[in-house]
A and B are shown apart, each in its own frame.
Chain A
Amino acid sequence: MTATAAARTTTAPDPEVERILAFVRKTVAEVRPACSQTLPSVTLTLGGIIQATEMAAEKVLDEAEVLAAHRQRLHDALTRLAPELMSAPAAAKQALIDAARVVEAMSASITSVMAAMEFQDLTAQHLRATIAAVGGMRQRLGEVLALVNINVDAEVAPVKIAEKLGAPAAVAPWRQDLADRLLEDMKDPDARAEDGL
């Protein structure tokens, strides 16, 4: 390379290289907060969903088991009652038969309710796989960012995605609705009384 060519290189960079450099700076500025804030926030939220569904499913199963115990007691009581109704009027016998059918139907319903709670395990499995994928992605991204060690202007960075994601309205819109309703209730105590709260 001649001295003239070298001078041209240092004084007038290739516009294409400049464009690529600007793109890299902008991308790094966008990706850094995503890597350090957004992805951990996503992981945390998904973990929270797993826990919440687990608690809900456990509660439903607890209640279903209580119902099953009640059903069994009812079944046993009807079994004890049956011989006493041998010489009872036909209507009483029919009532016993109807009651026994209802107990059987309860059994099927309880089983269905319990089986429906399978959703928790299936959901949790998918979410855990997603958490693992997000974790892997974050690690790779961290490695890439460590390689591309470019200083970027914080002003260039876009809005803080993680904060947006963590906001109640983004994570769970119902939380914001609930907060709004509670505030409304506090403003108008008469309305609470009318609702019987």
Chain B
Amino acid sequence: MSAKILIVEDSRSMRRIVRAALEQDGHQVAESEDGRQALAALREVTPELIITDINMPEVDGISLVREIRRLPAFRFTPVIILTTESGDDAKENGRAAGATGWIVKPFDPDRLRHVVAQVLGTRGVA
């Protein structure tokens, strides 16, 4: 099942790695370099899944998730956080902000694809 996915990540090389992994499954990938750019992009594209880093300039990943949840069109859009942060506090912040999943870097591309497939497969399920 292919889907439109938005990657929010300030590292160009990391965006390319994530994109390559997702395109293997036929997904259409859009990219933003930080939270501010992602919020602007969401006025024009309607992704079925958002994957975001946390530590980014301008608007960070946690703030981005909070902002996304305030937008009626994306209140239930799954958001996966992909980050080097692995502490419980950070995860709790992500969960409280409304993140759907959490993957710690360095990540295995196959694991990412598996999680994406799982998340997309449960869309619409409460």
Binding site for B on A (CB under 8 A): 54, 57-58, 61, 64-65, 68, 107, 111, 114-115, 117-122, 124-125
Contact = CB atoms under 8 A, between A and B. Distances in A.
B109 interface: yes
Interface residues of B, number: 17
A61 B55 contact: no
A144 to B, nearest CB: 30
Contacts of A58: 12-13
B13 to A, nearest CB: 4
B119 to A, nearest CB: 20
B29 to A, nearest CB: 14
A107 B110 CA distance: 12
A69 B88 CA distance: 41
A118 B107 CA distance: 8
A111 B20 CA distance: 8
Contact of B17 (A107, A114, A125): A114
A54 B106 CA distance: 16
A124 to B, nearest CB: 7
B45 interface: no
B105 A118 contact: yes
Please classify the interface of chain A as helix (H, G, I), strand (E, B), loop, or mixed, using the class held by over half of its residues: helix
Given A117-B13, A118-B105, A120-B11, A125 B20 contact: no
7 contacts: A107-B24, A111-B24, A111-B109, A114-B16, A121-B13, A122-B105, A125-B84
Interface of B: 11-14, 16-17, 20-21, 24, 55, 84, 105-110
A57 B108 CA distance: 17
Nearest to B16: A61
Nearest to B14: A121
B21 A111 contact: yes
Contacts, number: 51
B14 A118 contact: yes
Nearest to A58: B13
Contacts of A121: 11, 13-14, 105
Nearest to B15: A121
B17 A118 contact: yes
A121 B13 CA distance: 7
A117 B21 CA distance: 13
Contacts of A125: 55, 84
A109 to B, nearest CB: 12
Among A61, A114, A124, which residue has the most Cβ atoms of chain B within 10 A? A114
A119 B107 CA distance: 11
A168 to B, nearest CB: 28
A99 B84 CA distance: 39
Contacts of B106: 115, 118-119, 122
A122 B109 CA distance: 16
